[in-house]
Amino acid sequence: MFELFSNFRFQDAIDIGIIAFFIYRIIDLIRGTRAVQMLIGLLVLFIAFLSSKYFDLYALNWILDNFLGSILLVIVIIFQDDIRRALTQVGSRTFFGSEGGLKGQDLEEIVRAAVSLAGKHIGALIVLQREVGLNDCVEVGTQLDARVSKELITSIFMPHSPIHDGALIIHKGRMIAAGCFLPLTTNPHVSKTLGTRHRAAIGLTEETDAVVIVISEEQGAISMVRDGRIMRGVDAATLRSTLQRLSSR
């Protein structure tokens, strides 16, 4: 044991630390995207390949051997969007360290916008991204990268706005995309009275840790959705206190 540690160099610690950091950041980049399911699928194929060799399943082994023989090309083709996104973010600040979450003023702007939209009976879907990435949703929407403000949030969901359909996604104090489409819930126990906006909010929070604010166009009511559970009829004070509690974690 002593001989093992005596051969351990200072450079080895730096080497391991750098590799561990990059692996962590890459996992963080693909978390919440389809790349995770694809990686699981490739892992299943690799296990099947090893099993076919162990149990002498020659036909299956031949097919998987030829498929995995060009695995680098397969990975590039399957993960081309994720690789491009990762390379783009490697040089950014968000890759080397996380930025701050929502600040008090940002939360106040969101609350004021939600109350204003509810008072005008204008439907809206506001997503607050947390740890799990929402890149799949962001990419199909309209890119914004704007400061959080009540006026801009309100203008996005006005009926005459070309991007009023879909969701607005806010992350780390920035409005990053609007007009984004979210996955609908498949839970059969969800109330039939809930519309598409509420079902989309529930569907997204079932798959991620995002918090979604829904404003009903018909009733002018504010709902808050988290972990697949919906809280209806939320007032401004409750919305503000809940967002503050979540942001402080």
Domain that holds residue 229: 104-247
| Helix 58-69 × helix 71-78 angle, to 10° | 60
Does one domain contain both 242 and 132?
yes
Q: Are residues 203 and 147 both part of a single domain?
A: yes
If one counts the domains in the chain, the total is 2
Last residue of one domain, picked from the residues 48, 70, 96: 96
pLDDT score for 240: 92
Q: What pLDDT was estimated at residue 36?
A: 72
- Whether residue 223 sits in one domain with residue 121: yes
pLDDT tens for the 249 residues of the chain, in order: 555 556 667 777 888 888 888 888 777 766 655 667 777 888 888 899 899 888 888 888 898 888 888 877 877 777 776 666 566 555 544 444 444 456 788 999 999 999 999 999 999 999 999 877 888 899 889 999 899 999 999 999 999 998 988 999 999 889 999 999 998 988 888 888 888 999 999 999 888 889 999 999 988 899 999 988 899 999 999 999 988 888 765
Residue 128 and residue 106 in contact, taking contact as beta carbons nearer than 8 Å: no
CATH number of the domain where residue 173 is located = 3.40.1700.10
Same domain, residue pair 78 and 134: no
Are residues 75 and 131 both part of a single domain?
Answer: no
Q: Are 200 and 213 in contact (CB under 8 A)?
A: no
- Where among 45, 75, 96 does a domain terminate? 96
* The last residue of a domain, from among 74, 96, 118: 96
- Concatenate the DSSP letters of all residues of 102-154 into one string: --HHHHHHHHHHHHHHHHTT--EEEEE--SS--HHHHHTSEEEEEE--HHHHH
